[in-house]
Amino acid sequence: MASPDSNKPYQPGEVYQPGEVIFQEGEPGDCAYIIEEGEVNLFMLVAGQSKLIAKLKAGHLLGEMCLIDHQLRSATAIAVAPTRLIVIPGQRFQEKIASCDQFIMLLVKVLLDRYREMRARLENISRIVDEDRLNQTLYAPNHYVSFQDESLALTTRQLEAENALREAFTQRQFELFYQPILALQDNALAGCEALIRWRHPVRGLVPPIEFIGLAEETGLIVPMGQWIIEQACAVWRQLEAEGIVLDFIGINLSSKQFEPLDFVDQTQALFIQQMMAPRHIKFEITESILMANPMQTVTILNDLKQLGCHIAIDDFGTGYSSFSYLHRFPIDTLKIDKSFVSTMLSNPKSFQIVKTLCLLARSIGLVVVAEGIESEEEHHALVEMGVDYGQGYYYAKPLPYEAFRQFIIAQQAG
């Protein structure tokens, strides 16, 4: 009899004849199987007797349980027709498990745990004749996987953080700040970048670095992203109503926002609803978004361009920095990352990188924004290089709406 879990490993294509054991209850398992062809019966020992518990056919999975919780095989699998199997090696299975959502993993573990405990109890019950002992067994405290277990505390904390974030969104605890962007040749205010903040009732102002990742993981970034665009448009209209018209407002996009197939339609509907001219919108996307799914991204960006929006590459120089995509994607603006700007006066290499990026951008008709300008010296160096726009604490930090409005008024007065 062939038994892949004991001495003789299963060879792909090998056929189990009716009656042959595929694996045996109680032995360790290092793989799972999919039945490619044939039939397999699963048996379990109940009160010392072998009982048929499942009849499996082509396409069914078997032997997966012990790989999830590293227990011994919980059943014996016997071919009942000539059977061919596809082996899923344990390591491959573990990789799949490791890459799945932690909560799903936890759920699988809990279900498996409950199943095993229930099975052990049923087995005990079938042997008990005395009623007191039967009750003791039925109502004995269980040892299920608990969300308070050390190893699961992380998942629990993650769930709490997710719930808090969703709740905060429902409670409207998010707001946009606006960081001015100036035309460097004449220091005139040209536009701004919208930057999200979480006004936490206890923690105060929480920066996006602490929650954008989680919002992306949970998919909350999709409704949140729509709200950001809506809010940015509303503020634009509010300023317009006061006679304040800037050239553009930058809005950051996450790759997850591109996943709903109707992202562009939804965005267009929003512009119409908010009476916003798309030519004032500059969507900021990072290099990693471009590279994650280039085919889909190029279509979406072309559609956004078609609406009239502008596209900026954010944090340029920190990612792949492949110049080829500057041609492939419909990009208007290159935002040089603050890590280059902040080191360019002390590090000649950074200085050369910034200079070269400016030349390159200009030669292919891109507008350049330098990010993270913090000093007058940096400002002057960038003006000399001919950089179009500047953004940084030197001019202004990201400001809440009213402070931003005052900044504009002061600029216009001066």
> Which residue ranges make up the site for Ca ion (CB under 5 A)?
252, 284, 314-315, 371
The answer to whether residue 314 forms part of the interface with ligand C2E (CB under 6 A) is yes
- Which amino acid type is present at position 30? D
Q: Are 408 and 239 in contact (CB under 8 A)?
A: yes
Distances (CA, A) of 377 to 55, 110, 384: 77, 60, 11
Residue with tokens 């208007």: 332
Q: Helices (DSSP H) in 308-368: which residue ranges? A: 324-328, 338-343, 348-363
- Contact string (CB under 6 A) for ligand C2E, positions 348-377, x = contact: ------------------------xxx---
Least CB distance from residue 330 to Ca ion, whole Å? 18
Residue closer to ligand C2E (CB basis): 40 or 381: 381
Distance of CA 59 to the CA centre of its chain: 31
DSSP letters, 11-22, are PTT--BPTT-EE
The answer to whether residue 196 forms part of the interface with ligand C2E (CB under 6 A) is yes
Least CB distance from residue 195 to ligand C2E, whole Å? 4
In angstroms, the CA 343 to CA 381 distance is 12
- Which amino acid type is present at position 405? R
In angstroms, the CA 266 to CA 274 distance is 12
Q: Are 102 and 154 in contact (CB under 8 A)?
A: yes
In angstroms, the CA 149 to CA 151 distance is 6
Number of helices and strands (H, E) in the chain? 15, 17
Residue closer to Ca ion (CB basis): 287 or 315: 315
In angstroms, the CA 6 to CA 269 distance is 63
Least CB distance from residue 358 to Ca ion, whole Å? 17
Least CB distance from residue 357 to Ca ion, whole Å? 14
Residue closer to Ca ion (CB basis): 335 or 379: 335
Residue with tokens 């953080």: 161
- Contact string (CB under 6 A) for ligand C2E, positions 251-280, x = contact: -xxx--------------------------
Residue closer to ligand C2E (CB basis): 67 or 301: 301
Q: Residue from 65, 165, 228, 309 that binds ligand C2E (CB under 6 A)? A: 228
Q: Residue from 90, 208, 330, 386 that binds ligand C2E (CB under 6 A)? A: 208
Strand 204-206 with 188-200, pairing: antiparallel
Task: Give which of ligand C2E, Ca ion, none residue 393 binds (C-beta under 5 to 8 Å, depending on kind).
Answer: ligand C2E
Q: Residue from 207, 219, 294, 348 that binds ligand C2E (CB under 6 A)? A: 207
Q: Are 18 and 38 in contact (CB under 8 A)?
A: no
CA 99, 103, 106, 107 dihedral sign is negative
Report residue 52: phi and psi, to 5°.
Answer: -75, 125
Least CB distance from residue 213 to ligand C2E, whole Å? 9
Q: Residue from 40, 182, 195, 334 that binds ligand C2E (CB under 6 A)? A: 195
- Contact string (CB under 6 A) for ligand C2E, positions 319-338, x = contact: -------------------x
Least CB distance from residue 223 to Ca ion, whole Å? 20
DSSP 130: S
Least CB distance from residue 246 to ligand C2E, whole Å? 17
Task: Give which of ligand C2E, Ca ion, none residue 254 binds (C-beta under 5 to 8 Å, depending on kind).
Answer: ligand C2E
The answer to whether residue 218 forms part of the interface with ligand C2E (CB under 6 A) is no
Least CB distance from residue 207 to ligand C2E, whole Å? 4
Residue closer to Ca ion (CB basis): 40 or 221: 221
Least CB distance from residue 145 to ligand C2E, whole Å? 35
Q: At 63, list the tokens.
A: 């032997």
Q: At 183, list the tokens.
A: 């035309």
Please report, as ranges, the residues that interact with ligand C2E according to CB under 6 A: 179, 194-196, 207-209, 212, 228, 252-254, 284, 314-315, 338, 372-374, 391-393, 398
